[in-house]
Structure 1
Amino acid sequence: MTEAITTQPRTDAPLGRSAAFTILTTGYTLSTGPGVAATVSYVHDAGRHVIVDPGMVAHRDRILGPLAELGLGPDDITDVILSHHHPDNTMNVGLFGQARVHDHKAVYRADQWTDRDAEGHELTPSLRLIRTPGHSAEDITLLAGTGEGVVAFVGDLWWRPNGPVEDPVAPDLGLLRASRLRVLSAADLIVPGHGGAFPADGTAPM
């Protein structure tokens, strides 16, 4: 089902618009590929080099190869965002040993664990985290303000551009829907957990 998105003030959207992003590898699930792979993205802004959801891929070169084409190696990455803690979205986090790792409740680096709520946390004025539970209780979304609009890296809040509309592992479909609506009110483009990007509009699976 598609529907019009209620117009709301874009209070979640970052104020900055200087970020840029590259999808390093487009993921898939059993229904669209030979196995399961994460969509892994690179975002940069104001000296921060960010990897989002370095999860399962057929080979780590699916992540490191496109990154090298951008002139970057693993130790250049300053931050890793984990949208949630399922292995298919986290499997390759160890590739980026110098990075700060962000999840819903803390920032981790080397042997340092710093508690902080992800809700509203800003890496830069153009990069903001918000809580978007639904696929799991700890889901977060990275909102990146770019010159073309706000891009939402949502993990498995949506798996793919075609759904599923009702996530079969979601513990609360009402909460999932509420988080999806929150993202749609803030973003122009959605990067899901296991597929290509799609517009944040009334065509999004709901």
Structure 2
Amino acid sequence: MTALPDYLEPLGDGIYAIDTGFQRPRFDAAYLMIEAGRACFIDTGTNHAVPRLLGALQALGLGPDAVDHVIATHVHLDHAGGVGLLMQSLPHAKVLVHPRGSRHLIDPRVLYAGALAVYGQEEMDRSYGQVIGVDAERVVSSEDDMVLHLAGRPLRLIDTPGHARHHHCIWDERSRGWFTGDTFGISFREFDRPGRTAWIFPTATPVQFEPGPLRESVQRLLQSQPQCMYLTHYGRVTDVPALADEFLLQLQQMEAIGAELRHAPERHEALKAALRRMYAERLRANGRQGDEAELDLLKLDVELNAQGMAVWLDR
């Protein structure tokens, strides 16, 4: 058997993680599910990931015509920026997206402008490129608790606001796992330690962070008693109850930080400093160093989470 490319990781149950190459290795994942010769992508990464997604199909002996579905967990560009370009190579596929996100995949100008306001033109050109729309007749809006079938394999989608109002998660009964996008937070592999649970934290990327709905969404995911979560950032994680406890604790602390600093002078810098202290404390509580080197890995997330919390506080 020919060796798989190094960006393609088999996870069992016909599921593969594809490292999209966004920002750094093992930072941003798309998932490929294969059932009876038919295929489905869940999240795509950016335009720059499309060669890897098509290469994954080829490495597994499938052509682009084997793909029936492309599911975007939500329309943030690190998850769905490459959907339009990818769809140009998939003759039979339909895009499945939350109803609040459909119009942004069909006409991505507003979505692009929102990301531009956060990241600036230089970063948009470097990381995302030109975002391409999808023909409206190829876009299907999901409904809460709908079931989609991949060659008879049921995939259930539920509405999961909190990180974004255009977010849904996908349940795979076969592996007893949720594809969570950003609803169940972020777990960078650099923080993994032998014999220890992965470390996780919520993400408040602008502009629709809402702690109450996010808590309810996570609790709804847990009702299925999942054995694993497939995170876009990054990979398959297990020990779900412990991860959920850590996630919900940090979410509660973020709410407390927001309440304390709502009217603080130089609020953005104050929020960033409070988040850094929280992450250092939680890293140490989970057996990591919590030092400057580890906190430096979280520099972008501190910035984005502070921005997202500020929008939530003002709202």
Instruction: Determine if the TM-score, normalized by the shorter chain, exceeds 0.5.
Output: yes
TM-score by length of 1: 0.74
Answering whether residue 114 of structure 2 is matched by residue 123 of structure 1, we say: no
Answering whether residue 182 of structure 2 is matched by residue 182 of structure 1, we say: no
Give the counterpart of 2:45 among 38, 55, 58: 55
Answering whether residue 32 of structure 2 is matched by residue 42 of structure 1, we say: yes
Secondary structure, counterpart of 1:63 in structure 2: helix
Q: Which residue of 2 aligns with 1:23?
A: 17
Give the counterpart of 1:167 among 204, 218, 224: 204
C-alpha distance in 1, partners of 2:185/2:20? Answer: 11
Q: What's the CA shift for 1:115?
A: 6.2
Secondary structure, counterpart of 1:62 in structure 2: helix
Give the counterpart of 1:95 among 86, 92, 105: 86
C-alpha distance in 1, partners of 2:205/2:38? Answer: 35
**Contact 1:56/1:90 (CA < 8 Å) preserved in 2?**
yes
1:86 and 1:113, CA in 2 relative to 1: closer, same or farther beyond 3 A?
same
Q: Which residue of 2 aligns with 1:77?
A: 67
Q: Deviations over 1:142-185 (max 9, x none)?
A: 11121xx3121111113422332353545211211211121122
Q: Which residue of 2 aligns with 1:150?
A: 176
C-alpha distance in 2, partners of 1:199/1:27? Answer: 23
Secondary structure, counterpart of 1:126 in structure 2: strand
Q: For this pair of structures, how many residues does the alignment match?
A: 182
Q: Could you tell me which runs of 5 or more consecutive residues in structure 1 were left unpaired when the two chains were aligned.
A: 1-18
CA RMSD, Structure 1 to Structure 2 (Å): 3.0
1:135 and 1:92, CA in 2 relative to 1: closer, same or farther beyond 3 A?
same
Paired letter, 1:123? L
Paired letter, 1:112? E
Q: Which residue of 2 aligns with 1:10?
A: none
**Contact 2:43/2:73 (CA < 8 Å) preserved in 1?**
yes
Secondary structure, counterpart of 1:203 in structure 2: helix
1:133 and 1:82, CA in 2 relative to 1: closer, same or farther beyond 3 A?
same
Q: Which residue of 2 aligns with 1:132?
A: 160
> Identical aligned pairs, as a percentage?
26
TM-score by length of 2: 0.50
Q: Which residue of 1 aligns with 2:234?
A: 195
Q: Deviations over 1:37-68 (max 9, x none)?
A: 53100113466421000112754333222221
Q: Which residue of 2 aligns with 1:3?
A: none
Instruction: Choose 62-71 or 39-48, whichever is displaced more.
Output: 39-48
**Contact 2:229/2:237 (CA < 8 Å) preserved in 1?**
yes
1:200 and 1:118, CA in 2 relative to 1: closer, same or farther beyond 3 A?
farther
Paired letter, 1:25? D
Paired letter, 2:200? G
Between structures 1 and 2, the one with greater strand share:
1
Q: Could you tell me which runs of 5 or more consecutive residues in structure 2 were left unpaired when the two chains were aligned.
A: 1-12, 107-133, 188-198, 248-315
Between structures 1 and 2, the one with greater helix share:
2
Paired letter, 2:202? V
